[in-house]
A = this chain, B = another copy of it.
Amino acid sequence: KNKDSLILQNLPKNHISHYDLNKLTVTPDALVNKEEVLILTPMSKFVPEYWANLNKLSYDHNLITLGFILPRTKEGDHALKSLESAIKKTQSNQGKFKKITILRQDSNSLESQLEKDRHALKVQKERRSMMALARNSLVFSTMSPATSWVLWLDADIIESPQTLLQDLMAHDKPVISANVYQRYVDDKTKQESIRPYDFNNWVESEEGLKIAAGLKDDEIVVEGYAEMATYRPLMAHYYDANGDVSTEMALDGVGGGAVLVKADVHRDGAMFPSFPFYHLIETEGFAKMAKRLGYDVFGLPNYLVYHFNE
């Protein structure tokens, strides 16, 4: 398969575009093959370090399209202003992105977004179901026939290797998730340290399946809560500072922090269920759906990206 053989005729006068999906390559040699990447970010807050990190990505920005969806809250209005002025700067410089689409959400959002509020178990179902709708609106509205890869990158991922795209692509997997950690200062020792942040990258367990089997149709399992001990192996706990960064781990659930998806996985229909799908929703339900579509899902326990610390 060679990108050169992609029939891509844009006839502006007649407004006809031809795309042969079979000739659209999705390979570890993405950059050489000039494969297009769509980076999608639901954004309730604009974090300058996220923007700086995004701009430092070393994949050819001419091949990168950005898509954002912001909530209709005051927080969203504020984020939009900051995002717009940041974009203005970037797009007038070298290294500007191919195209940027900004969507304002039509669905509801929760107002309070403090870390402790949004993590309360009882608000998780409603909150994550709304996040699922936002993610779906974003991918359904922005993916083009020329998109080879979709990177889901949360707006509060503030640090990653510059080669994030190439590194994840090199694994040539349908879905692959980085391990999301957080930097913090230890209260007692005053030492800078790191700790796991995202617990949605997991391997299904017998206990998890047992819990799911005992649930009513409309109930969900959410990972990372003591109230619902699944004993699922969590990728967050498999990080080994001395291990090989390219170690792969098969997963059954993923988070949305930094996940690279082959566009064909979405094209085949993989979306983020806002309703319980095998008792899972949002990114965890997405992983299950990718698997139902016949795709394998992986994570990189030793490949860290960092979440903002409020």
Contacts and interface: CB of A to CB of B under 8 A. Distances in A.
Interface of A: 7, 14-22, 24, 72, 87-88, 91-92, 96-107, 132-133, 136-137, 139-145, 147, 264, 266-269, 271-275, 292-293
A96 B14 CA distance: 8
A100 B268 contact: no
A141 B275 CA distance: 23
Contacts of A140: 139-140, 143, 266-267, 269
B16 A87 contact: yes
Nearest to A271: B269
A21 B106 contact: yes
A153 to B, nearest CB: 18
The 10 closest A-B CB pairs, nearest first, are: A136-B269, A22-B106, A21-B106, A14-B91, A269-B271, A141-B145, A20-B104, A137-B267, A15-B99, A275-B292
Nearest to A264: B106
A309 B163 CA distance: 56
B137 A21 contact: yes
A243 to B, nearest CB: 35
A88 B269 contact: no
Contacts of A142: 145
Given A16-B102, A18-B104, A136-B267, 13 more contacts: A14-B87, A15-B98, A17-B101, A19-B101, A19-B141, A20-B104, A21-B103, A106-B264, A133-B267, A133-B268, A140-B269, A141-B145, A268-B274
A181 B107 CA distance: 38
B19 A104 contact: yes
B21 A132 contact: no
Contacts of A105: 21-22
B103 A145 contact: yes
A17 B100 contact: yes
Contacts of A101: 16-19, 145
A102 B17 contact: yes
A240 to B, nearest CB: 35
Contacts of A144: 141
Nearest to A17: B101
A99 B139 CA distance: 20
Given A15-B98, A274-B293, A22 B266 contact: no
A137 B14 contact: no
Contacts of A106: 20-22, 24, 264
A97 B273 CA distance: 34
Contacts of A264: 106
